[in-house]
Amino acid sequence: MTDLTALTIAEARDALAKKDFTAVELTDAYLGAMEKARALNAYVLETPEKARAMAAASDARRAAGTVGALEGIPLGVKDLYCTEGVRTTACSKILDDFVPPYESTVTSNLWADGAVMLGKLNNDEFAMGSSNETSCFGPVVNPWRRKAADGSIDPTPLVPGGSSGGSSAAVAAHIALGATGTDTGGSIRQPAAFTGTVGIKPTYGRCSRWGIVAFASSLDQAGPFARTVRDAAILLKSFASVDPKDTTSVDLPVPDYEAAVGTSIKGKVIGIPKEYRVDGMPAEIETLWSQGIDWLRAAGAEIREISLPHTKYALPAYYIVAPAEASSNLARYDGIRYGLRVTGDDITDTYELTRAAGFGSEVRRRIMIGTYVLSAGYYDAYYVRAQKVRTLIKRDFDLAFQAGVDAVLTPATPSSAFGIGEKSGGDPVEMYLNDIFTVTVNMAGLPGMVVPGGLDAKGLPLGLQLIGRPFEEETLFQVGEVIEQAAGRFTPAKWW
């Protein structure tokens, strides 16, 4: 029998429509694959009973002639999304065994379209990390392994990227047909690059943030992981909606993103920002970028060098704005109303003991940075200046788009996946540098997508990033499909 977990969403959708198999059979295939892949630590909670019940309900709807856009498609959900009646922890001890009495808007959309929930996926604690090593459930292991110099497989476990490492690993390892992620500074795109998957961060406001545990409210955005550009387009159609419960949700029609996949990019203007050629960038990244340019030029696109002069200030400005918002958002975790409580002698003591026991070291670091930059005497010196830089970063992109650029092509990451523990034990700034190519997109509120572009000398995936005009994700799917067709698809060899 065909390996059902090898199908794409588009293929599974069509096969379900032809009744080649049922939603229950497809779901059972994934539940079996999940059991065999527990060494990856991608799931922090498997929900097999719920999955089978949702799949059975999907089959019943299909039999009755009612078919949703994702009918019977099994998905994994990042543990940052609140799921009604299913434990949601943000992978932090401070939320303990919190079970939400409500559903996030994005997951509500998915279930309304017929999707099936396989379980909750691992992530960096409160989405703070670039390697999925800060989770209270332990690190996720990348399903890819690098090759040694002699051609043998190096058994060193690699990170899958972060913060949505469980999502990227699950999609790459074929233990979810697609997955939800969130992106604050690159937390969808960087893991997608590290695992050979497709990840898109939509325009800020395109998807509701309601019911998603907040990290930095002006930067966070929901988005999907998928194995192909077409699958990502199918998922984003369900993710996106206007939501009165989220005041930043934008009331614009949601296009049929899948219709854009495979259409010509002839005449499209692709900007190549000279500031993304950073010192010390590996030759393989530069070569991949040049290859991507050649692919787009061959498809009829016009290539134009552009300047985004404030790019060099994006990373330091981001690591002021994001921690500042985090320190405000995480003030709600006090051990009083829900989650972990460590009782002290008085209310202040209870707060301190609870937060000391509940927050991990990276979360505490960012809370302290954020509280510092918002404090009297430093607010103007740091936070206000960072917001001014943010405005300048957005203006750089605005000027490029006004000059006729349709999309921007850049590298996705400064390297391929690194080993677990190789960067997390030393200077935190070294870890933060993983976001160097991605944070500008969040600071400007733009859509960005990563598509696999090739493998490095060690056999690990490398990605290319596309940045688009606000609310023009269709262009990213158009251009991304060209890269995907030229580069091919990449699947790790199963070792688990």
d(CA 321, CA 389): 10
Beta bridge partners of 121: 43, 78
Is residue 187 among the annotated active site residues? yes
Is residue 163 among the annotated active site residues? yes
Is residue 78 among the annotated active site residues? yes
CB 491 within 8 A of CB 172: yes
- The radius of gyration computed from the CA coordinates of the chain, to the nearest angstrom, equals 21
CB atoms within 10 A of CB 302: 16
d(CA 217, CA 208): 11
d(CA 125, CA 136): 7
Start-to-end C-alpha separation, the chain: 22
Q: Which of 168, 187, 249, 327 is catalytic?
A: 187
Long-range contacts of 251-259 (CB under 8 A, 24+ apart): 252/206, 252/471, 255/473, 255/474, 257/233, 257/473, 257/474, 257/477, 258/230, 258/233, 258/234, 258/477, 259/474
Write down the residue that tokens 């919190």 correspond to. 98
CB 417 within 8 A of CB 280: no
Q: Which of 92, 130, 131, 163 is catalytic?
A: 163
Q: At what angle do helices 9-17 and 23-36 cross, to 10 degrees?
A: 140
Q: Which residues participate in catalysis according to the annotation? A: 78, 163, 187
